Amino acid sequence: MNIAATCLVPDFQACALLLDVDGTILDLAPTPQEVRVPSSLRHAMNRLSERTGGALALVSGRPLSDLDRLFAPLQLPAVGGHGAEFRPISGSSLDIRRTVPLDATLKRKFAAIAESGTGILIEDKGYSVALHYRLAPELGDVVNEAAARVCLENPSVSIELLRGKSVLEIKQAGFSKATGVRELMRYPPFRDRHPIFLGDDVTDESVFEIIGDFHGLAYSVGRMVSGIDGYFENPEAVRGWLVRISGDDETAAP
């Protein structure tokens, strides 16, 4: 973690904390289902939500239902599905959806790519699908080339391919994490606050690009990104920082 991130102690009345999930606050796992939320992190996030007056949100490619499952019993404000849906208030039934799920026929075509080699996993996120090849990294080119062919064969559908860490995300064009964050920032308690955003992957770069519009700060995790305010070495460093600023050091145990 660099010195800027180490020294960052937010003004909880003026800022909003926006956190990507996989690879940022949670360690990546061989499969999405194997990801785990440490109890210390859940406790720290609950404290930080209280300290910010509810202005702590998750920003993820996962759908809201999956985020709620992971972080239960917390039900935090969130941008889900890469901006396809969001919830502006903690515990609220106001889940706002900005698009329809990806067409089922198209999903089946992308799912068929998983049959091209052992170790390729398909994850249906509703608004998108993800092809994971962490268990077979040598098949990354096969996955990406096959997905590009499906797009060429279906020119009437505007599809966006997002290449991440041993994963290819496939979604409709027209929305992103950045569009979700922009909309989230229109609602209290986020409105008129300065967001601090943490993200690790290429899917987070759209938020890095717009965070300055809100006079906010952007931090990457695990890699250097041009134009950001600092970086954390890994999710463990992020979790340690969240515990420290929560003011609840007793949660520091893993």
Active site residues: 20
Q: Answer left, alpha or beta for residue 81, where phi above 0 means left and psi between -120 and 50 means alpha.
A: left
**What whole-number distance in Å separates Cα of residue 156 and Cα of residue 194?**
39
CA 13 to chain centre: 24
Helix intervals (H) in 82-204: 104-111, 140-153, 177-184
CB atoms within 10 A of CB 131: 25
178 and 186 in contact (C-beta within 8 Å)? no
